[in-house]
Amino acid sequence: MPFLNDQNRMWQEKAREVAEKVVRPLARKYDLLQEYPWEIKDALAEAGFFGVWIPKEYGGAGGTVLDLCLVIEQLSRACGGVGVMYCVNALGSFPILVGGNEEQKAHWLPKIARGEKLIAFCLSEKFAGSDAQSLRLAARKDGTGWVLKGEKKWTTNGGAADLYTVFAVTDPASKSRRISAFLVEKGTPGFTIGKIEDKMGIRCVPVVETVFHDVRVEDAQLLGGQPGFGFHHAMGTLDLARPGVAAQGLGLAQGSLELAMVYGARRQQFGSPINSFQMIQQMLADMATQVEAARQLVYASARSLDTKMPAANKMAAMAKLFATDTAMKVTTDAVQIFGGYGYMRDYPIEKYMRDAKITQIYEGTNQVQRLVVARNLVKETGALTQLLEAYIPREVQEGFNDPATLAAQKAGEGEAAVRGTTS
Ligand code: COS
């Protein structure tokens, strides 16, 4: 693979090996059982994968977002559930890297890097999905600590995880400093697992409701030690994590394409292998082209985060939406190529399609990703206007400068031009 350095290739090859030796043979078992695959988790820990995204000073491998994406891609190529079972630990621990203080980093990151402690990210609630600011789980100040009360929804890794990054309302009256994040350990009195979801795909990783019934945490568990920065920590985390979901989609798309290629070579109809028919060839060619386009965008978005490029969040959103839409399209086409066999649970191909669907939904629906991209474009337009306004119809400019238009614009300022989310 061009453009990858030695370190990137090392992680890619190692992940490919573990995916083929350990993950692929067990994928069906855990899909049917809908149970956490502890034996796979142990193999990932032994290979050092839980340390990829953690800096060396905290016991990690000091890898890049690109390294992390390469590992996720290879694992997801064999099993999309294992891809997320692994990368949700990055999602859960990025808030510590983004907003944690020195004590929190030194205490938790080495344990996470060794795979001793699994972690989950608790942002979404029943009534707070895409509108993440509207969450209700409350944290009330109480002496030297806080008391958490409320519920979280769709906590991936819930039950398996030892540590939970929980976003809660600490200042209901504030608009921009309303939310804070807390590090809550499994076993804390009042903290329980509620409903365990029965899912269409990614069945080896638990998705649960988490319940906080007067859960007391100390000030030391408040992320960063200062209240009010939770939403920024959540958004900064999602920017870092979204290329990982994109890589999950990429791995699923690549894995299903490969199965479809082999099926196409073996399946005979009308006296010939079906991959000799132009209609199948066209499907395979389109699938491969879409996968490769997604790959380039996923790697570019990871690099833009690694090199702290401006608008890296736009690239992360683009990669997430494009690679996961590609995953849905390519896995569906792979099922089509498998024909009747593709629809049956006896063969792994339908699992790719089931696993792919969630990637368009979680860590921000693809509608939210488009919203993030569009907001960036609106911001970037200012810099282009001077250069290009001579080419815009004169009457449009006159209308824009019209006092009534300007007044109406001022009244609507701040209102996002683009809304339209699904959850
Ligand atoms: N990084 C850091 N800070 C950010 C940020 C980012 N990428 N994006 C926004 N912020 C900050 C803003 O600067 C603003 O700060 P101030 O209040 O200090 O000015 C604050 O956060 C609010 O920003 P904004 O008004 O843009 O937030 P919105 O409520 O409009 O929400 C979306 C924006 C929809 C993009 C956000 O709610 C989102 O990502 N929703 C999806 C949530 C999600 O992915 N859930 C899945 C959880 S994991 S399964």
Check pocket membership of 123 for ligand 1, CB cut-off 6 A: yes
Alpha carbon distance 19, 26 (integer Å): 10
pLDDT at 233 over 70: yes
Percentage of residues of the chain with pLDDT beyond 70: 97
Report how far ligand 1's centroid is from the alpha carbon of 3 (Å). Answer: 32
- Among residues 13, 363, 380, 395, which one is catalytic? 363
Tens-digit pLDDT profile for residues 333-365: 999 999 999 999 999 999 999 999 999 999 999
Check pocket membership of 231 for ligand 1, CB cut-off 6 A: yes
Tens-digit pLDDT profile for residues 42-83: 999 999 999 999 999 999 999 999 999 999 999 999 999 999
Higher pLDDT, 168 or 389: 168
Choose which residue among 154, 226, 232, 245 to substitute to test ligand 1 binding: the one with the highest number of ligand atoms within 8 A of its C-beta.
232
pLDDT confidence band for 416 (50 / 70 / 90): very low
Q: Is 380 a catalytic residue?
A: no
Alpha carbon distance 219, 222 (integer Å): 5
Residue 407 has what pLDDT? 79
Write the CA distances from 88 to 103, 219, 224, integer angstroms. Answer: 22, 25, 21
Report how far ligand 1's centroid is from the alpha carbon of 363 (Å). Answer: 12
> Which contiguous run of DSSP H or E holds residue 238?
helix 230-266
Q: Is the pTM of this model over 0.85?
A: yes
Higher pLDDT, 412 or 301: 301
The β-bridge relationship of strands 163-169 and 119-122 is: parallel
Closest CA to 265 of 277, 250, 282, 253: 277
Residue 405 has what pLDDT? 74
247, exposed or middle or buried, with CB in 10 Å at 0-12, 13-18, 19+?
buried
Residue-range domains of the chain with CATH? 6-118 (1.10.540.10), 120-227 (2.40.110.10), 232-381 (1.20.140.10)
Check pocket membership of 238 for ligand 1, CB cut-off 6 A: yes
Residue 413 has what pLDDT? 60
Report how far ligand 1's centroid is from the alpha carbon of 231 (Å). Answer: 7
Q: What is the mean pLDDT of residues 14-18?
A: 98
Question: Residue whose CA is closest, atom 12 of ligand 1?
Answer: 232
Choose which residue among 231, 324, 359 to substitute to test ligand 1 binding: the one with the highest number of ligand atoms within 8 A of its C-beta.
231
pLDDT at 223 over 50: yes
